[in-house]
Each structure stands twice: as structure tokens, then as C-alpha cells.
Chain A
Amino acid sequence: MIKLRGLRLGFETGFALAVDELYVREGEVFAIIGPNGAGKTTLLNAMAMLTPPAAGTLEIMGQDALRPANRLLLRRAMSVVFSQPYLTTDTVFNNVALPLALRGRKDRGAVERALELFKISHLKDRDARTLSQGESHRAALARAFVTEPKLLLLDEPFGSLDERVKDAITRDLRQVVKSSGAAVVLVTQDQAGALTLCDTLAVIVNGRILQQGEPQAIFSRPAAKEVADFVGVETILPGKVLSRTDNLCAVEAGGKTLMAVSDCAAGDSVFFCLRPEDVSVSMNADAGGRRNNFKSRIISVAPWGLEYKVELDCGFTLQAAVTKQLVDGLGLKPGGEVYASFKAVAAHLIKRIL
């Protein structure tokens, strides 16, 4: 659906986007995540043919998208939704009908269906300026789907919505996307949102795609320290592989010897990575078969979403996510002593290039 190669885009500010390869297949949901200012929106605007790149090739639906002559035709085969709905001063119905009007089409049925898909049929005669934020975003999505596009580009489509509204719209959007069979490129900072929607995930940092692939693989096996940082790996320790037996590596990191399952070789310099939800905290020394087990002192206990984040000192600093019940049950508080354990398979090693 989209084939992008060797894309280069520079700005006067010094920021540069460089994407070597990006493929979006038909019918797949491709999410691009990354921190603020990483170049996500720039990349999407390039794919939407709104910002011409300095170099590279961009093919959309088999057509050369960088040829000005193809631009309008390709734009009319796809839809783009931005973080702001940008509705016109008109009724909701006419807003949703606008893409059809721009294509010289009139199809009341299609407009009614699009309104129905995003559950705003009852608002069709309202002045779009009087909609709530959530309703405006729904109208923008209905407007994007009214042409039944084969390709949809979404740039932070629910930017400033509160969680509850966002969840409801995400649920409806997923249903529509799945049943429409359209390919979707979703740019977002919201990792949970990306995970619920996407088949393929790409992480972009500093204008470069550092990793792309199955979302689960990226979350548990980040390919670079920056990716690990962004996807919520909280413990990242520089270290060195001491030895390897089968695929079990002994790693010297943080002044301790840690066990990790990896195909790194002895002598490799690595980052030892661990997600906080993979760390168990207990009062007794029995690790229950986990290969890593350390007596630790609690540095701090802080609420973290629905759970608690416990910062531990076990020679190195380790972050653990624990439930409220556990915090209460064990009476976890700063200064207390506990055992922290984790499986070798939960740990992940990133090769460090020195």
C-alpha cells in the first residue's frame, strides 16, 4: 500500500528526518510511536503528500506519489485525520459530506452510513461549531470514512480527549477499521492506544525509525536503548556478558551478576533491560525458580497508574511494579527490606556499540 525508501527531509531548525525503509501492507494497521518532536507528524505529512521530501521515493497504491500529477488522484483514494478535527462552519452533515462534494459526488446514503458508524446520526443538523470535543473528533472520523478510503492516515487522532472518550472512540474506530479492510497508518504518543489497534509498530526517535515489527516483540525485545526507554523499560543497566551456556547469559551489570536469556556472546557489551512488571517483590528469600534474586532495600514507593512503582536498591537501582494489595499486605515502605526476583527470560539484552 505504501512503499517508502530513502526518505530525507530537513528543516531550517536543524531537525532532519531520515527513513530508510517503510512498508505498509494492504489492510494492516501500522502504528508509529515516539516521543514529542521525534518526527512522527513530519513522516505522516510526507506520506500524505503534504510535505515534499528532499530525497527518496514514495509509492502509494503502486503509483509514484512524488509526481505532482498523481497527487490529487492519490489524495482522493485516501483520507487523513489530524489531531484537531478542523471542521468547517457548517452543519455536521455537510462537514461529513465535504469529501464527497470535493470529488463531485453526492451520496446522502454514504453520509448517513458514516454518521452511523461513529454514532453521531443524531447530530447531523447541528452547527459543527457547537459540538463537544469528542463529538468533533467523531465527526472528523466520519468525514474521513465517508469516501470508503483504501488508506487512512491518522495523526494523533484523539489528541486532547479524556481517557473515557478516547477509549470509546478507539473501540469504534477499531471496529470500523477491521470491517473496512483499509490500511491504516496511525501516529501516536499513546502506546496503549497503538497496541490495541496495530498489527505493526514502528518506533521513531530523533527522526529515525529505530525498530519496526510486531508490537509485542518491540515491547519485550527493544532493539535500541532509546526504544527501550520509550516503551517503558525502566531498568536499563550497561554491562558485559561474562559467559553463555546454551542461550543463558551471565551478565555483569550494576556490580552484580545477572542472568538473561539472549543470543549475545561472551565479551559483548550490552544494556541489561527489564520491565517493571516483570519484577516480583516478596518477603522471603525463596525466588520460586527465578534465576535472579536479590535482597534489596526500598528507596521509594509511589502510585503508578492503578499500581504502585517501587524503587529498589539491590546494588543497582531496580524498578518494580506491584499491586496495591501487595503494597498494603507486605507493608512496603521506604527503608524496608525485601527480595526482588525476576526470570532470566524476562530480561533482555541490547548489544551496545562502543
Chain B
Amino acid sequence: MDFIISGFQKGAALVFSGDAEVFAIARLSLAVSLGATAAAVLVGVPLGSAIAVKKFPLKKLLIALANTGMGLPPVVAGLVVMLFLSRNGPLGFLNWLYTPAGMVIAQTIIALPIITALSISAMQSVDPKFYRQILALGASDAQAIRVCLKELRLTVLAAVIAGFGRLVAEVGAVMIVGGNIRHQTRMLTTATVMETQMGNFDTAIALGLILLSLSFAVNLALTLIQQRRVAR
């Protein structure tokens, strides 16, 4: 029991000591996960909205695929991205393996189905008559989707929160694609795994605390944005 308590004490001390390496790791974690969330939102929200609004063959199959993708195991995503980025892989020429860019790609692939599937169901929750009214006011399809997304901002931000939460906590894909290289691709999650395996529980606890605080800070910000206009 003592080693747990002392672990927390040392961990807290490390957080407040302003250790340069720990902060660099935290900064990279935040940058990669936020970057991947942003990329997934930029692609997934319009994609999901279009899938919801348009009629086309195999639509239901595509929705089922997106829903399945919500449970995509990060290690599988990481493995596939690693194979593509490896020296002999189709994207090997990019030299992105074991770089932050590669990790962003892997995490984007993990978040994309989540954002897309949640956007589809959000858009499908819009009353078709409301959508029809917006079209009838002179909107193009893209404009009508934008008006609906504005109505749906609560739900869309919930999708963003879900996507970011998944990524910031994810370890498998960034471990495989990033390689946990010190000063280069070491993330809070991968570092925590490593320190735990090495028996450095106090460092691991410190990293865990930082991860939780970061996640809380980002989610607090998103929630404040989300709840800004809800006066009930």
C-alpha cells in the first residue's frame, strides 16, 4: 500500500516540478490527438452528413461499416498504418513511420468511423420536413446540411468529445506506428506503459495524472462551448 501512496506523492511532485521532458511528452500527446480529432471532424462530419442525406445503393451497408468501425481495435488500425508506411509499403516514400505525422494518420483512422457514424445518426435525427423546408428556402444541399449542423451543434460536439476521448486514451496504434521513441514519438500513454513495465510507478502515476488533467481540460473546454447556448 505504501508504494502506491508514495507513488502518488512523487507523481504529484513531478507534475508540479515542471519537468521539461514530461511536458514535451504531454504537448506531443495533445497535439497528435487534437490534430487527429480535427482531421476526423473535417472529413467525418461532412461525410456522415452526406451519407445521411443522400439516397444511394448500399447506403445501409456503408452505415453498418461506419458503426462497426466505431469499435475498430487501435492495434489493428496501427498495424495497417504501419504496414502502409513501412519502407516497402505503398506509402513508404513518405518516411512517416515513427513520426508524429504517422501517429496522426493512425489516430485519424480510429476517430473517423466514430465521428462519421455519430454524424450520420445525428443528421438522420433531423426531421425530414425541417430539411425540406431549408431546401425550399433556397438552400443547396451543402447549405442545408450546414444549417442542420448548426441546429445539431450539441450532438456534433458530443461526437467530437467522444472522438477525442478515444484518441487521447489510445495506446496501441501510437505504440506501433510511433514506436515510443524518446524526444520524438513518446506519448503520455506509451510512456505510462513503458514506465510501468520498468517498475517506475511514480513516473507512471505522474504521467497518468497529467493525461487525466489534459483530457479533463479539453473536455471542459468542449463542454463549455457545447453548453454555451443551452439556457435551460
Binding site for B on A (CB under 8 A): 45, 48, 50, 72, 75-76, 79-80, 82, 84, 86, 88-89, 98-99, 102-103, 143, 147, 153
Contacts and interface: CB of A to CB of B under 8 A. Distances in A.
Query: Which of B135, B136, B137, B139 gathers most chain A CB within 10 Å?
Result: B137
A88 B150 CA distance: 9
A126 to B, nearest CB: 13
B138 A102 contact: yes
A86 B129 contact: yes
A80 B133 contact: yes
B135 A86 contact: no
Closest 3 CB pairs of A and B: A80-B136, A86-B133, A76-B138
B124 interface: no
A98 B150 CA distance: 13
A97 to B, nearest CB: 11
Contacts of B137: 79-80, 98-99, 102, 143
B196 to A, nearest CB: 47
B68 interface: no
Contacts of B9: none
A15 B140 CA distance: 30
B151 A102 contact: no
Contacts of A147: 138
A50 B151 contact: no
Given A82-B129, A102-B143, A88 B151 contact: yes
A50 B143 contact: no
7 contacts: A50-B136, A72-B140, A75-B135, A82-B129, A82-B136, A89-B229, A99-B137
Interface of B: 127, 129-130, 132-140, 143, 147, 150-151, 229
A87 to B, nearest CB: 9
Contacts of B143: 102
A89 B135 CA distance: 17
Given A75-B138, A80-B136, A99-B138, 13 more contacts: A45-B132, A72-B140, A75-B135, A79-B137, A84-B129, A86-B129, A86-B133, A86-B134, A88-B147, A88-B150, A89-B150, A102-B137, A147-B138
Given A84-B129, A89-B229, A102-B143, A48 B136 contact: yes
Nearest to B127: A86
Contacts of A102: 137-140, 143
A173 B197 CA distance: 76
A183 to B, nearest CB: 16
A103 B138 contact: yes
Contacts of A82: 129, 132-133, 136
Contacts of A72: 138, 140
Contact of B151 (A48, A75, A89, A153): A89
Contacts of A153: 136
Nearest to A50: B132
Nearest to A74: B138
A143 B138 CA distance: 11
B138 A86 contact: no
B136 A79 contact: yes
A187 B47 CA distance: 36
Contacts of B139: 102
A75 to B, nearest CB: 5
Contacts of B130: 86
Query: Which of B129, B135, B140 gathers most chain A CB within 10 Å?
Result: B135
A82 B131 CA distance: 12
Nearest to B153: A89
Contacts of B129: 82, 84, 86
Query: Which of A50, A84, A102, A143 gathers most chain B CB within 10 Å?
Result: A102
B83 to A, nearest CB: 43
A88 B130 CA distance: 9
A88 B135 CA distance: 13
Contacts of A89: 150-151, 229
Contacts of B147: 88, 98
Contacts of B132: 45, 50, 82
A75 B229 contact: no
B19 to A, nearest CB: 46
B150 A50 contact: no
A84 B128 CA distance: 12
Nearest to A77: B138
A98 B130 CA distance: 14
A84 B127 CA distance: 12
A80 to B, nearest CB: 4
A84 B138 CA distance: 18
Nearest to A99: B137
A58 B141 CA distance: 22
B135 A50 contact: yes
B203 to A, nearest CB: 48
Contacts of B136: 48, 50, 75, 79-80, 82, 153
A43 B151 CA distance: 29
B148 to A, nearest CB: 9
Contacts of A86: 127, 129-130, 133-134
